[in-house]
Structure 1
Amino acid sequence: MTDLETRIADVLADRAAKTSAPGGLAERATRRGKRIRRRRLVVGVAAIVALLVLVPFTGRSTGTTLPAAPGGADAAIGSDRGLLHFDVDLGRLPSTLTDRITVTEWVSGDGYERFVGQDEERRPIVTIWLTGSAARADDFNSMANGGSTRNLRWQRGGVEGLTVLGSADRDLLPKVADAVRLGATQRCVMPIHLSALPAGGRWTECQTAIRRSPGAASLWMYSGLTLRRADDRTVFIWADSDQGTTTGPSPFAADREVAGRPAMWRSGSGAFANGLWITDFAGIDLYVSNYESGPADWFTPDEAGWYATHLTASPDLNDPATWPRRAVG
């Protein structure tokens, strides 16, 4: 696996629970995610699962990393890819968790939303899944059940929640649920904008990650757009602040020009195998590829180039308030 594929796969491992994925994608992604996690987790006993009914809270926490979106508090979880219908008040988390969180990742998908607090090596410290469907929550729980994690199922105001922590932090699970702020609507923003979709295409997931204390690095860390074609094949647009790899086992070597920038076409079989790589897309590392495992020859350089030419980048990677209000459209 190349450095580029590793960066993408590491971040996407926990997304395997999407039950709406077409053509067995959920099962294939689950197997891929498990292979990645086996290299990093010590297999333990099954997760502890509890069910809590919590008191509704619709206030907004302070210090959120994404711009607020006034209104929309009553909309359903996962009803709009451009919005998150909750926030997490890190100040209400135990310091033993908060002190280890250096990156916050936010995901808005088709019928679900998610928060992941990660450490500096992108390992998850806290994961929170939200959905309006008990069946979907069961699926998330099954995916997270086992290994070195512990889970807590909870309900609040018609929302099904699942909190996942490492086994050493199991006693802190109820405190994490208390930090969730439903109705604190935020925009799922990123410093790139896709101006159009192909005919029949749909935007199915928004993913974006922010550093809490960036220091010399940019505030923004990475983002992903998942797009469903009219034929149900899935296209993935990945962007991060790593500025590409020009040396190593699979170095960047431009073989074409796309949108006025040097680009490289990578081909193969498997998830993310066929893709267009641009290491300096206005200061952003960009990769447009297939998503599913299996044969990838359906995704061509021309199609990848079409997406790249419909993308623009924000000049400021440190101020989410200046990024496009919606990443697509």
Structure 2
Amino acid sequence: MTDLDQRIASTLRERAEGAVDTDRLTARAVTVGRTRRRRRRTGTGVALGLVAALGFGATTVPELPRQLPRTHAGPSTAPVVPPREPGAPGAAARPDLVGADPGVLHFGIDPARARYLGWEAGRGVESVRLDLGGDRQVVVDLARTAADVEQAFHDGMSYSPEPAGATGFDGQIRRVPPSGPGGQPGWILRWRPGPGLYARVTTVAPDDRDLRTAVAALRLDEAYRCAAPLRLTALPAGARLGRCAVTVINFPDSLDVQFTVLGSKEERLDVRLEYRSEIAGSRTEGNRTIGGRPAYRYPRGDKLELLGIPKAHLTVWFGWPHQGFTEADAATVLAGVDLATDLTRPDTWE
């Protein structure tokens, strides 16, 4: 056990029997995005938080608050995991890198304790959604500042009405009351796993036991790629990749991927891949052509779709509320998309 692990374990033991601070909490659930269908080696670790398109589709900017139904683990299949990135350091060694590269996650989990349901990185925060078995999910967020952690919201999770400042990352478990009739409470654990790091674990459950399981599964000495079945090989002039999010909750029956592209003045467009095995057909006639392939611009004028991908929709959202990019920019991105031949084979993902 390292000094870092000892400090984490000690803090959690000291705080485990403490009173739950509910005075400042109000019954409210904040969630984002669209509803998405969504295991043990002894060790110690540290904490996390998906999207993710992921839901995971997780996003760092919340939309309208609403209560989402409890998501369920997908069909029995080999777990999907992001691949290791051997050349990159873990968060414990380089906390300054956390959330800075949308292509890399600077922490991992013990696969014997939990299973990935999604992962995302970029815009200051890194997150994972985990399945602990028995329809029990937790989300872990890791960042360099308290503000970056607190800006992350995920489908189906409940949050305090006010974000916590740096002093709120004290190792205490707090309860968020149910947001609706018959709903389960939310549970949040915030702490400092090491210098320059802030972590938060969140779940919705009858009790807080899953928070401790998730903490024990964390590994801060590893790094992984934000692997997805598509790559963006062309971006508008001056633009950069700002976020990568992958959701594998119901894989291989469904898969969600979202890339966020940012401009020099924080203009934004979102690239979304939505795969569903039950999709029987799709639009075949387009009103645009991109790289010799049919495409379709939606009537509202804020979304462009590349057609001809079996059981999937590949779209770029470039309109309201993220103004700044144009249809030509969206077409540039779609023309440079490199898509895996079989979306359900993670060994072919980049």
TM-score > 0.5 by shorter chain = yes
Structure 2 distance, partners of 1:236, 1:302, is 14
Please name the residue that 1:53 is paired with. none
**DSSP-derived class of the 1:199 partner:** coil
Paired amino acid for 1:149: G
Please name the residue that 2:340 is paired with. 314
Following TM superposition, the consecutive aligned residue runs of length 4 or more in structure 1 with deviations greater than 6 angstroms are 4-10, 243-248
Instruction: Give the superposed CA RMSD.
Output: 3.7
**DSSP-derived class of the 1:175 partner:** helix
Among 303, 311, 315, the residue aligned to 2:329: 303
Is the 2:35–2:68 Cα contact (8 Å) retained in structure 1?
no
Structure 2: tracts of 5 or more residues without a match: 1-32, 37-50, 71-78, 161-175, 180-184
Please name the residue that 2:23 is paired with. none
1:166 and 2:225 aligned: no
CA apart distance, 1:153:
0.8
Please name the residue that 1:191 is paired with. 229
Please name the residue that 2:288 is paired with. 256
Structure 1: tracts of 5 or more residues without a match: 19-25, 42-62, 325-329
Structure 1 distance, partners of 2:52, 2:224, is 26
Paired residues for 1:56-205 under 5 Å: 65-73=81-89, 74-75=93-94, 76-93=97-114, 104-117=117-130, 125-140=137-152, 144-145=159-160, 146=176, 147=179, 148-158=185-195, 159-205=197-243
CA apart distance, 1:227:
0.7
- Measured against aligned partners, the alpha-carbon deviations of 1:221-276 in whole angstroms (never above 9, x if no partner) come to 1211101112321010001222796889xx775223322322211143xxxx7111
Please name the residue that 2:269 is paired with. 235
**Normalised TM-score (structure 2):** 0.63
Is the 1:78–1:131 Cα contact (8 Å) retained in structure 2?
yes
Q: Which has the higher contact order (CA 8 A, sep 6+)?
A: 2
Is the 2:275–2:313 Cα contact (8 Å) retained in structure 1?
yes
**DSSP-derived class of the 2:107 partner:** strand
CA apart distance, 1:194:
1.2
**DSSP-derived class of the 2:223 partner:** strand
Please name the residue that 2:248 is paired with. 210
CA apart distance, 1:164:
0.7
Residue 322 to residue 15, structure 1, CA distance change in 2 (3 Å): closer
Please name the residue that 1:275 is paired with. 303
Residue 139 to residue 264, structure 1, CA distance change in 2 (3 Å): closer
Structure 1 distance, partners of 2:263, 2:331, is 15
**Normalised TM-score (structure 1):** 0.67
Structure 2 distance, partners of 1:196, 1:244, is 31
Fraction of identical pairs, as percent = 24
Structure 1 distance, partners of 2:210, 2:131, is 16
CA apart distance, 1:138:
4.3
CA apart distance, 1:293:
2.7
Structure 2 distance, partners of 1:154, 1:140, is 16
